[in-house]
Structure 1
Amino acid sequence: MVGKLSSDEIERVLGTAMIAHLGCHASGRTYVVPITYAYEDDYIYGHTGEGLKLAMMRENPEVCVEVEKIDGPAHWRSVIAWGTFEELSGRDAAHALQVLLERYFSREASETTRGPLGPHRQGAVHPDAHLFRIHLTEKTGRFEDGARKRPRPTLVR
């Protein structure tokens, strides 16, 4: 069965996924790239270095984000959302960093994940890092709940 996700289901997918596909468009060119993110109150928070993605979002802040949870070819959830990019500084950047750190380096994270990021956990950021948020203004979602696992056919020789 294929159907639409409810608002609560859309929020659950956005809040639990870790990777999104960000689509941006500027100067007649479209670019889609995976990003790690954290989600809070209709905002996607992320960080990036200087590059094509940041340049394009600065030129045209209207972006699209796709997030999915895939358990198999017939069992998946997908959310597409549109919003506006904003580069952050000051208190907004500090809040973004806190949201990202809580999402990725919580107590549940492994020692190998937390270990090398000690300075980041205290608020230090690489000097070339740019913190940003995307305010999501429109969201839609779809799902398929088909057969989870079908037995594989046995080859007879």
Structure 2
Amino acid sequence: MESWQAISSIAACFAAIVALIPIFRANWATKSKARNLRMRLSIKIYRLRPTFGALVDPSINTPESVIVSSDELAVMLERLENLMAESEILTPKEQDRLSGYLANLELMLPLYKAGELSPDAAENLLLLGDRAINELEENGLTHSEPHQPWSEDSNA
């Protein structure tokens, strides 16, 4: 009789483990989706850095090919807003940082289109974008540190 109790205990533990597998898979899938979304959002924000950087410091020779036109900026804003539809998988702090960045970007778009965006406003957008990216990085953009061929450490 004791062997049946031992076997039933082992079977119950095994059944519990098998029942938890879908939960672990769903959690893993959500983390993967969040990492993917963080990467896509950060790429869009990084893409705008040269444009606003050129407004902050015109003495920097920023190639024209990386400067975003006002029409391109409107499209990128729309793409960022579309990506935010998936933001429920991000942390509340990430959502707040991204929402603040997008709100300021949307409010400053008419000024950018009119060529009236001040260097201070552009610098504020850069800072808001940096804060959003820092928050995204804090929660895991990638599985490991990204390769940085431009850094001196990678040349050693």
> When the two structures are superposed, what TM-score results if normalisation uses the length of structure 1?
0.28
> When the two structures are superposed, what TM-score results if normalisation uses the length of structure 2?
0.29
Choose between structure 1 and 2: higher helix proportion. 2
Larger Rg: 1 or 2?
2
